[in-house]
């Protein structure tokens, strides 16, 4: 208050002239501002303030138990397969298949945890058609999953099965690495590793059946040392899949990385230049979706025949406890799933089967394959 007293005592003489009066006013304004500086603005009684007490810096990391929901799960009910593809990274080390009731219980737990899409692969799923058919019905009809898909080599698929189960199946993906018989033989894509002369014709038949029954038809291709220089564009356009996934041949430690495993994929690997050559040749196709090794690693949520999550990313493959024993959340915490990589590769897409047949998204604009006209 000393400053204000001093100003008050000198005010009479200062007001003797107009200029001095202005000086006094300026001093008064500056003095009041000085006193009020730093004083908090008045807050109405009972009003909340936005200020928070100082807190130590907290790392911006989720708690361990805040696992992302298993939006899309890839389930391998059996490792058994009738083909012998040399680069396979989920080989037949066990003929085990879970009892159907246990598989259903696992699917229910996954649905409750947030699963929206189920992809059934293998092994070859169609080696167990009764198990497969009932699992499809249960997951679509009882659990109400948005999307159910199957990945198959196509050899055991029958038209009758698709006709009877089409209402439960959104997507059918067929593995097709080449349209050349000698190339398929070199890869091992065929019964007992021998290329089936009817394999390519079967792929075209399945595409036609899918179109007939309203199932979304998809193709999967693994680019390897035997097919990287093949031009598949014309046949892909004719088959008209809504989606063509093109994978770079991948090594998975613990599955196919050397001669001690059921498959040794080292001799099937390609260079980055070969990969880019194949991609450049086919990138004009609207259904083309490439995935290199970096994109694949850790971006898929994999579930084995005992309902254990698999981590096939960097380093040795790891397995969780069975979700039947510890629950979905705890099992997911035991492996690494890169949700960011899943999102970046377009893990969620239009995956529900349309109500009408065909569609503009197909590579060939709807196809129109007539199985009666196929001559192979």
3-class SS of residue 75: strand
**Paired tokens of 372:** 């009666």
C-alpha dihedral sign at 143, 145, 151, 152: positive
In this predicted structure, the answer to whether residue 60 has a pLDDT above a threshold of 50 is no
144 closest CA partner among 114, 104, 111, 100: 111
pLDDT at 5: 44
Assign 311 a pLDDT band (cuts: 50, 70, 90).
confident
Specify burial of residue 240 (Cβ count, 10 A radius: 0-12, 13-18, 19+): buried
Q: Of 39-48, 82-91, 152-161, where does the model show the most confidence?
A: 152-161
3-class SS of residue 129: helix
Torsion of Cα atoms, 250 then 255 then 256 then 259, to 10°: 160
In this predicted structure, the answer to whether residue 51 has a pLDDT above a threshold of 60 is no
Tell me: the pLDDT tens digits for 162-190? Answer: 999 999 999 999 999 999 999 998 888 87
- Extended strands (E) in 224-287: 243-248
Q: Which domains does the chain have, with CATH numbers?
A: 2-36 (no CATH), 72-373 (3.20.20.70)
Assign 66 a pLDDT band (cuts: 50, 70, 90).
low
User: Bridge partners of 150?
Assistant: 120, 172
Tell how far CA 197 is from the center of its chain. 34
Report the distance separating Cα 322 and Cα 303, nearest Å.
Answer: 9
Report the distance separating Cα 319 and Cα 308, nearest Å.
Answer: 6
Tell me: the pLDDT tens digits for 322-333? Answer: 999 999 999 999
Tell me: the pLDDT tens digits for 294-307? Answer: 766 566 789 999 99
> Which positions are annotated as active-site residues?
81, 85, 88
| Mean pLDDT score of the chain | 77
Cα→Cα distances 205→158, 185, 286, Å = 10, 21, 22
Tell how far CA 258 is from the center of its chain. 27
Work out the number of other CB atoms within 10 angstroms of the CB of residue 351: 20
User: Bridge partners of 234?
Assistant: none
Give the contacts of 48 (CB within 8 A, at least 6 positions apart): none
Report the distance separating Cα 184 and Cα 124, nearest Å.
Answer: 17
128 closest CA partner among 148, 98, 102: 98
**Paired tokens of 290:** 């490439």
**Paired tokens of 134:** 């009932």
Tell me: the pLDDT tens digits for 222-250? Answer: 999 999 999 999 999 999 999 999 999 87
The 302-303 sheet, strands edge to edge: 288-291, 243-248, 216-223, 171-175, 147-152, 117-120, 72-75, 302-303, 308-311, 318-322
Report the distance separating Cα 245 and Cα 363, nearest Å.
Answer: 12
Assign 269 a pLDDT band (cuts: 50, 70, 90).
confident
């Amino acid at each position: 208050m000393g400053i204000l007293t001093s100003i008050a005592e000198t005010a009479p003489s200062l007001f003797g002239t107009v200029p001095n009066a202005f000086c006094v006013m300026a001093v008064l304004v500056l003095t009041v501002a000085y006193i009020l500086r730093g004083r908090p603005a008045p807050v109405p009684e009972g009003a909340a303030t936005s200020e928070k007490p100082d807190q130590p810096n907290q790392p911006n990391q989720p708690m361990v138990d805040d696992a992302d929901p298993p939006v899309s799960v890839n389930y391998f009910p059996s490792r058994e397969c009738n083909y012998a593809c040399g680069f396979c990274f989920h080989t037949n080390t066990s003929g085990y298949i879970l009892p159907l009731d246990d598989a259903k219980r696992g699917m229910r737990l996954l649905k409750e945890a947030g699963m929206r899409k189920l992809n059934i692969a293998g092994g070859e799923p169609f080696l167990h058609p009764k198990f497969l058919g009932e699992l499809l019905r249960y997951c679509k009809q009882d659990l109400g999953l948005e999307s159910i898909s199957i990945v198959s080599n196509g050899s055991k698929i029958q038209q009758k099965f698709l006709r009877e189960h089409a209402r439960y199946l959104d997507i059918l993906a067929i593995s097709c690495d080449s349209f050349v018989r000698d190339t398929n033989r070199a890869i091992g894509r065929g019964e007992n590793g021998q290329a089936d002369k009817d394999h390519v014709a079967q792929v075209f038949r399945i595409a036609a059946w899918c179109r007939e029954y309203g199932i979304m038809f998809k193709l999967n291709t693994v680019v390897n040392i035997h097919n990287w220089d093949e031009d598949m564009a014309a046949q892909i356009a004719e088959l008209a899949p809504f989606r063509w996934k093109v994978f770079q041949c991948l090594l998975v430690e613990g599955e196919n990385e050397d001669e001690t495993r059921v498959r040794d994929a080292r001799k099937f690997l390609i260079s980055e230049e070969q990969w880019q050559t194949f991609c450049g040749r086919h990138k004009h196709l609207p259904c083309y979706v490439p995935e290199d090794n970096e994109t694949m690693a850790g971006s898929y949520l994999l579930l084995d025949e005992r309902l254990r999550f698999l981590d096939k990313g960097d380093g040795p493959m790891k397995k969780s406890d069975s979700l039947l024993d510890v629950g979905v959340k705890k099992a997911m915490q035991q492996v690494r799933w890169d949700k960011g990589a899943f999102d970046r590769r377009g893990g969620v897409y239009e995956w529900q089967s349309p109500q009408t047949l065909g569609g503009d998204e197909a590579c060939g604009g709807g196809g129109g394959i007539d199985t009666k006209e196929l001559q192979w």
